[in-house]
Structure 1
Amino acid sequence: MPSLLLRPLARTPRQVQRDAVDVDLDDGRRITVQRVRDPRARRLRLSVDERGARLTLPLRASLASGERFLHEHLQWLAAQLDRHPPGDALAAPLLPGRTGTLPLRGETVPLHWRQARYLRIERDDAGVCVQWPARASDAALRRALRAFYEAQARADVGRWLPAYLPGLPRAPRQLRLKVMSSQWGSLAPDDSLALDLALVLARPSAFEYVLVHELCHLLQANHSPAFWREVEARFPAWREERDYFHRQGRSLKAMLRTLLAG
């Protein structure tokens, strides 16, 4: 990945600053590059992963130098983006006041902003509304987005769970929503259920399958043929959802990381 070393200043603040810039590639594509000014960075650095394109700038680097560096490496950037499936970079970082869309339940939902006294994110007739106080920080925005996604996920689980409780020996002890690196869910020995928060970005049937999968571990604490018979009896289309995660899982997790961590 391209980089350019710069000498650090003697004293630098520690806050990471983020914004985004749109860039036109030579093949006609317009992409969004996340721009991160990081006090720990010693060089201009351009990288591409599942979250999309990212330009990191040291504090002493000017925006103009960052723009020149970016345009000098457009061919490299295009080649790297071609290595990722189209779905890998669908989510742009959530930036104050920037309209667009937000991934939710397998769709992209319109996102809009409204000035308010308190920071809050909620569904409305137009999509998703961010009620935004003028002095709110980027960190507060990401916390509010996580709270919004958690509320949406709990609502989904609360809607599905009652239909699957009959026939189970007991209900899960509690539900925790976590950002998981590889798993989609787990059931602890004390019957605590953990689900990946990225599931709320997936299509609802896939989310529901993961819930059923983990509930069946209350009956069979393994992945034996007996376990899969329990899953089959409750969710016959489980293979389709498993295949969906094989195709889309990496992208879903990357989108959540981008939105919550930048």
Structure 2
Amino acid sequence: MREVLPHEADWSIHYGEEIIRFAVRRQPQRHRGSIAIHVEPPGRVVVDAPHDASRPTVLAAVRKRARWVHEHLASFRRRHLHVLPREYVSGEAVMYLGRRYRLKVIPADVAEASVKLCGNRLEVRSTDPAPAMVRAAMEAWYRARARAVFAKGIDDMLAMLRWKPAAPPMRLQAMKIQWGSCSPAGRLTLNPWLVKAPRDCIDYVILHELCHLKEHNHSARFFRLMDRYMPTWRQRKARLDELAEVILNQ
């Protein structure tokens, strides 16, 4: 889940009347001739290619799978049509750890806005119930919960790994198209909105990034690590992809 560098993003092909734009991640350890194509939520196309793959070679590989890419992009667009923009008002559905709650905005004479889970409701108490203030309070709450949930998830996952990497530094960064990333220096960056997802999906993202501490690529060795420690990671990823539009809709 490495960030795509800006200079790698100016790629596109034509498929019928559609222009398919994609980003390329250069991976020095990827075998020559091995090119992988991913369609990631909420509809970003990413191509993993060897460091020495030429532009014509990459374009030819994407053209060969253009129909498959087109169908996946169309699927993302269809799902997105059913996602309504957030209004931050009472009665709206919100998510936390894979469960849906009803938002309840309560005008109250309080020094500082507060957010609390109460049964099947997420209650926001504030002297100013305006949507902008409710949104700010909720985002602060999500970030606080994300930091605690992710920290525990990282500790639990590290205890399971046989190769025992040192605990990496972790930071939160809101992102529209990524759940997380791992820098070459070994720092994990996680999307705070991921805390809305089920715990098993959160664990999948955490393991993905921790495996990058050993294999900073998407090579066969990387996926063997994923399979060893989480044989069900593909199902978890698919579930997370299905929820992406709802979770990332801020």
2:187 equivalent among 168, 192, 214: 192
Residue of structure 2 equivalent to 1:112: 104
Residues 121 and 131 in structure 1, CA contact (< 8 A), matched pair in contact too: yes
Q: Which is bigger in relative contact order (C-alpha 8 A, separation at least 6)?
A: 2
1:237 equivalent among 229, 232, 236: 232
Name the SS of the counterpart of 1:152 in structure 2.
helix
Residues 177 and 197 in structure 1, CA contact (< 8 A), matched pair in contact too: yes
Identity of aligned residues (%): 28
What root-mean-square deviation, in Å, do the aligned CA atoms of Structure 1 and Structure 2 show?
2.4
Q: In terms of mean alpha carbon deviation, does 140-149 or 161-170 score higher?
A: 161-170
Could you tell me which amino acid in structure 1 is paired with residue 98 of structure 2? G
- 1:91 to partner: Cα distance: 6.1
- 1:108 to partner: Cα distance: 1.4
Gaps of 5+ in 2: 1-41, 43-76
Question: Counterparts of 1:106 and 1:125 in 2: how far apart (Å)?
Answer: 15
- 1:138 to partner: Cα distance: 4.0
- 1:141 to partner: Cα distance: 2.6
Residue of structure 2 equivalent to 1:57: none
- 1:86 to partner: Cα distance: 7.6
Residues 180 and 188 in structure 2, CA contact (< 8 A), matched pair in contact too: yes
Question: Counterparts of 2:100 and 2:130 in 1: how far apart (Å)?
Answer: 24
TM-score, with normalisation over the residues of structure 1?
0.57
Residue of structure 2 equivalent to 1:71: none
- Point out the structure with max Rg over C-alpha: 1
**Equivalent residues in 2 for 1:216-231, closer than 5 Å:** 216-231=211-226
Question: Counterparts of 1:107 and 1:237 in 2: how far apart (Å)?
Answer: 21
Residues 104 and 202 in structure 1, CA contact (< 8 A), matched pair in contact too: yes
Residues 102 and 108 in structure 1, CA contact (< 8 A), matched pair in contact too: yes
TM-score, with normalisation over the residues of structure 2?
0.60
Residues 168 and 218 in structure 1, CA contact (< 8 A), matched pair in contact too: no
1:165 equivalent among 148, 158, 166: 158
1:153 equivalent among 135, 142, 146: 146
2:123 equivalent among 121, 125, 129: 129
Q: In terms of mean alpha carbon deviation, does 188-197 or 99-108 score higher?
A: 99-108
Could you tell me which amino acid in structure 2 is paired with residue 206 of structure 1? C
